[in-house]
């Protein structure tokens, strides 16, 4: 079937009742891959008909809190739903091991309670961490995953992922401004998923901390320009800041359409995009 990308959460750090935190599901060949673990990710996984035990691996684009806030729920739910010691494989940039070590330490009391209560649960959670660098590749379930460099400084390092299977390709860039690494990663992709902000709206918000995000996220226009340079077929927008309100869809689409003539998808939670 090529590649299926399901947007589990299309929100941002600003809480929104209709959008979970940043996370996506990629199904390609025999691989079922979770990219980032934002707020509400396990609930959205259930909405997509899956549980953490069904995952081949978790891939993290970077270690900003909104992209890993519910990684603890993925780890714990995976553990308590297993019937034997099965590692949860987590791929991410350098620093991921430190995050997992701290996460398991935070959950130590809970793990003790569950081990004491359930006679059939005789093993602790096992997380196999694989720290990755741009330029590397993975083979998971017959799907090829290419790791690319992105630019979200001062958050560093950050990576994006390109998934390839059966002649189809999908790129999930994560948080980044336009850069050469992103252009290379997205080149010719069937699906390009990009987190975006509305610079015109952000500039009008009376909060300096919100306005600061302008220098390390792609605007809608920049995402469209990247899509054009890279020659992608389908641009998918997600992680809206501020949240897209009902009735604003044409505004967001028009900002992108001014710079990209291909298909533009305004992502919503649990939407699935398929390539080819």
Residue with tokens 């270690």: 63
Q: Which of 104, 35, 47, 117 is nearest to 76 (CA)?
A: 104
Residue with tokens 């990684």: 71
Which pLDDT does position 155 carry in this prediction? 94
Does the pLDDT value for residue 71 go beyond 80? yes
231-240 in b/e form (b: 16+ CB < 10 A) is: ebebbbbbbb
Does the pLDDT value for residue 267 go beyond 80? yes
- Number of C-beta neighbours around residue 177 at 10 A: 17
Which pLDDT does position 207 carry in this prediction? 81
Beta strands in 38-113 (DSSP E): 57-59, 88-92
The residues assigned a catalytic role are: 66
User: In the chain, what are the domains?
Assistant: 3-275 (3.60.15.10)
Tokens of 34: 């979770």
pLDDT tens per residue, range 11-37: 999 999 999 999 999 999 999 999 999
| Average pLDDT score, the chain | 96
pLDDT tens per residue, range 102-160: 999 999 999 999 999 999 999 999 999 999 999 999 999 999 999 999 999 999 999 99
30-58 in b/e form (b: 16+ CB < 10 A) is: ebbbbbbbbbbbbebbeebebebeebbbb
Which pLDDT does position 67 carry in this prediction? 98
Which pLDDT does position 186 carry in this prediction? 98
Residue with tokens 């400084």: 153
Does the pLDDT value for residue 161 go beyond 80? yes
pLDDT tens per residue, range 236-257: 999 999 999 999 999 999 999 9
pLDDT tens per residue, range 205-229: 878 888 889 999 999 999 999 999 9
Q: pLDDT > 70: what percent of the chain?
A: 100
Residue 73's pLDDT band, with cuts at 50, 70 and 90, is very high
Does the pLDDT value for residue 188 go beyond 80? yes
Does the pLDDT value for residue 95 go beyond 90? yes
Beta strands in 63-201 (DSSP E): 88-92, 127-131, 137-140, 143-149, 159-165, 168-172, 191-197
Cα(53)–Cα(221) distance, integer angstroms = 38
User: In whole angstroms, how far apart are CA 75 and each of 47, 61, 83, 106?
Assistant: 18, 17, 15, 12
């Amino acid at each position: 079937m090529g590649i299926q990308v399901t947007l589990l959460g299309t929100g941002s750090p600003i809480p929104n009742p209709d959008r979970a935190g940043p996370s996506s599901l990629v199904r390609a060949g025999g691989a079922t891959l979770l990219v980032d673990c934002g707020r509400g990710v396990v609930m959205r996984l259930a909405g997509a008909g899956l549980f953490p035990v069904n995952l081949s691996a978790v891939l993290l684009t970077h270690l900003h809190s909104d992209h890993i806030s519910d990684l603890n729920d993925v780890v714990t739910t995976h553990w308590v739903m297993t019937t034997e010691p099965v590692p949860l494989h987590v791929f991410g940039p350098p620093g991921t091991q430190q995050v997992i070590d701290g996460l398991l330490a935070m959950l130590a009391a809970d793990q003790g309670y569950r081990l004491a209560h359930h006679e059939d649960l005789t093993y602790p959670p096992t997380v196999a961490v694989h720290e990755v660098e741009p330029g590397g590749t993975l083979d998971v379930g017959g799907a090829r995953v290419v790791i690319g460099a992105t630019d979200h400084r001062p958050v560093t390092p950050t990576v994006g992922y390109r998934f390839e299977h059966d002649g189809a390709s999908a790129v999930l860039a994560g948080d980044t401004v336009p850069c050469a690494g992103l252009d290379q990663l997205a080149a010719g992709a069937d699906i390009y998923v990009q987190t975006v902000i509305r610079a015109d709206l952000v500039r009008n918000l009376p909060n300096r901390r919100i306005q600061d995000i302008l220098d390390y996220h792609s605007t809608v226009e920049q995402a469209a320009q990247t899509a054009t340079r890279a020659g992608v077929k389908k641009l998918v927008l997600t992680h809206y800041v501020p949240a897209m309100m009902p009735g604003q869809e044409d505004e967001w689409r028009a900002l992108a359409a001014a710079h990209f003539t291909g298909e533009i998808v305004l992502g919503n939670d649990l939407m699935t995009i398929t390539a080819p």
